[in-house]
Amino acid sequence: MPGIVRFQKKANIGIGYVTGCNDFFHITDRERRDWRIPTKYLRPVILSLATCEGVVLRNGDWTKLRDIGEKAYLLYLPPGDGHSFGKGISTYLSHGKQLAVHGRFKCRVRQQWYAVPHVRRGDALLSYMTGQIPRLVENRTGLFSPNTLHVVRFDLKSNVKMFVAGWHSSLPN
């Protein structure tokens, strides 16, 4: 069909980052405040598209998740001395060691157990392994996502809106 372009020709699709321990590295806004974690060491995340309505992620979607107590942040620390990040981070990392997070496979094979690699934004996010039809959602907010979602990055010439709309069409393969 003229005008139809294969998805793989315009986009790179891969899993999101791998933390090694989602319960430790993803935190709620309440945990952020309780542990006194500076926002400069946090990245806004979405872990699932289940609560997302529509085909576009907007700032209000993330804010709603954060405000109802969902894990809406990734602890994002660059490699370095864990104590140089300040008291809140140092205390939280000590807590992680008490929980043996540093000994989990993905954490222990890193140069610094707490430095989650390959944290990248996607133009869109794609659900998978949900038992439902995969959903493609435009990521207007620039949220990050772990390997619970696929991160989709389009080439510079692509119209993300067009691909998201096309994903939800009834075009034949």
Query: What are the φ and ψ backbone dihedral angles of 86, each rounded to 5 degrees?
Result: 110, 170
Q: What is the pLDDT of residues 115-142, one digit of tens each?
A: 999 999 999 999 987 777 888 999 999 9
Q: Is 172 among the domain residues? A: no
Q: Is 81 among the domain residues? A: yes
Identify the CATH number of the domain in which residue 119 sits.
3.90.220
The CA distance from 121 to 136, in Å, is 15
Instruction: Give the angle 39-113-71 at the CA atoms, nearest 5°.
Output: 40
What pTM did the predictor assign?
0.88
Q: Is 173 among the domain residues? A: no
Q: Is 15 among the domain residues? A: yes
Write out the residue range of the structural domain in which residue 61 sits: 7-167
Q: How many domains does the chain have?
A: 1
**Tens place of pLDDT per residue across the chain (173 aa):** 556 777 777 888 999 999 999 999 999 999 999 999 999 999 999 999 988 888 999 999 999 999 999 999 999 998 776 668 889 999 999 999 999 999 999 999 999 999 999 999 999 999 987 777 888 999 999 999 999 999 999 886 667 877 777 777 765 55
